[in-house]
Amino acid sequence: MLKQFEINIQKNQLFSKNDKLLVAFSGGIDSVVLSDLLHKTGYKHDLAHCNFQLRGFEANGDTEFCETFAKQHQQICHVAYFQTAEYAHQNKLSIQMAARDLRYNWFKELTETNHYDYILTAHHANDNVETLFVNLIRGTGLKGLQGIPEKQRHIVRPLLFATKEDIKYYASENNLTHREDSSNQEVKYKRNFIRHNIIPELKKLNPSLEETFSNSIRYFKQSNEIIEAFAKQKFIEICTETPQQLSISIEKILNEEQKETLLFEWLNDKGFKTQQIIQLIDALQTKQSTGKRFESESHQLTIDRSHILVQQKQEITQQEYIIKNVNDTEHLPIPLSFSEITAANFSSNKHEIIIPFNDHLFPLTLRKWKQGDKFKPLGMTGFKKLSDFFKDQKLSLFDKQNVWILTNKEHIIWIVGYRLDDRFRVNDSDSNFLKINLNQ
């Protein structure tokens, strides 16, 4: 195993003996074997141990073991104590996800402070099999069936070539002592349930399960590369994207035989799940789909007349902003400016209006539009609902959500960036004026 370990590092260019390495060290058999292999192959490294304060005396015993191990090998051992249960409660996370966040955030801090080149974890081939099953259950598509990446930016997993049995055999042959985490036996955790209940049954059918899955993972990776290249080409043909919005042509995506796969590739990283994509396609194939919405944790998707529109969710903490005078603009969500002028010249710039100015004009209110809003568009004698005005302007549902309205008491003055209300047009009798600019 020692020879395989060194060959794997060199063959895949995981790191070099000049790199400064940090090992995620629990004191368990996997991390002890990883550290021993690094010692014997001449790779200098420090240790980082997390005490999540979840297992009382047992966790403290792990910490003592790690510190003793480091002294025996003349190593630095960084130790952090986390309030994991409290963090999980505050952030509405499972204990496992909370521990993962805390662990990797701390590793990142250590890397930046101590200038480590790589963080090494002791994941092995069995972990890869378990991860594949977890992702299969979650419905992550082909991308999730690629297992754990051996090298991902500054995170390296140099033991993925080895099985758990290889690691146990190496520890036994080299008389390595280690700690046992009793929580690894608790099948209430999804990964442990797969490890103790599902994989042993599968190994009865295929004793070389880890090797079979490792080969399959290589094929999955290559297949996913083909799919990603195909999806990128189709993205150019079917989609347009700005920093604010992804737009997908409904007509073009419905003409694609692989529409489910394409939408999954484009929407999965925005949090949309497989079942939502199936529901989306079903909705697109009906005549009454316009206006239908789907939400992930981070994004919202709306079916518009001819396009699927996807935007990141934005929390609006305040819907109305009061403007007390011409200088009261610093708190506004959009860059409006006000200036008093003595002559009114016509401008075709839709981001600028000029209106009569008197002592009764302020305060003004800047707000989002509401259903039922109506105004008298400049040049028209009658009133028009804003919903009808937006339809004439061919605004998408997301565009409508981003429209701001400037009002004076109960009257609309300006659909900002679109149209002035005729009741605030300049007349020959007016002598004082206010110019309002939307600074783009």
Instruction: Let me know whether 330 and 302 are in one domain.
Output: no
Instruction: Let me know whether 252 and 305 are in one domain.
Output: yes
- Per the structure, the count of domains in the chain is 3
Profile the chain (440 residues) by mean pLDDT over runs of 10 residues.
Answer: 92 94 95 96 95 90 94 94 92 89 94 95 90 79 78 92 93 93 69 85 89 86 91 96 92 95 92 90 85 88 90 69 92 92 83 91 92 90 91 81 87 94 90 89
Residue with tokens 């079917």: 238
Q: Kindly calculate the radius of gyration of the chain based on its CA atoms and give it in whole angstroms.
A: 31
pLDDT tens for 216-256 read: 888 888 898 999 999 999 999 999 998 888 999 999 999 99
Residue 407 to residues 97, 378, 383, Cα–Cα distance (Å): 47, 15, 16
- Give the C-alpha separation, 249 to 307, whole Å: 5
Q: Look at residues 312, 331, 354 and tell me which one is the last residue of a structural domain.
A: 312
In a domain, 226, yes or no: no
pLDDT tens for 176-219 read: 999 987 776 666 667 788 888 888 888 899 998 888 888 888 88
Question: What's the pLDDT score for residue 133?
Answer: 85
In a domain, 23, yes or no: yes
Question: What's the pLDDT score for residue 409?
Answer: 78
User: Quick one: which H or E segment has residue 173?
Assistant: helix 164-173
Give the residue numbers spanning the domain of 393.
320-438
Question: What's the pLDDT score for residue 122?
Answer: 95
Q: Look at residues 296, 312, 328 and tell me which one is the last residue of a structural domain.
A: 312
Instruction: Let me know whether 277 and 389 are in one domain.
Output: no
Residue with tokens 């994941």: 123
Instruction: Let me know whether 308 and 270 are in one domain.
Output: yes
Question: What's the pLDDT score for residue 316?
Answer: 46
In a domain, 224, yes or no: no
- Give the C-alpha separation, 263 to 278, whole Å: 9
Instruction: Let me know whether 67 and 179 are in one domain.
Output: yes
User: For residue 347, what is the domain's CATH number?
Assistant: 3.50.40.10
In a domain, 145, yes or no: yes
User: Phi and psi of 47, rounded to 5°?
Assistant: -115, 150
Q: Look at residues 167, 183, 217 and tell me which one is the last residue of a structural domain.
A: 217
Strand ordering across the sheet containing 419-420: 320-323, 364-368, 404-408, 411-415, 419-420
Question: What's the pLDDT score for residue 230?
Answer: 96
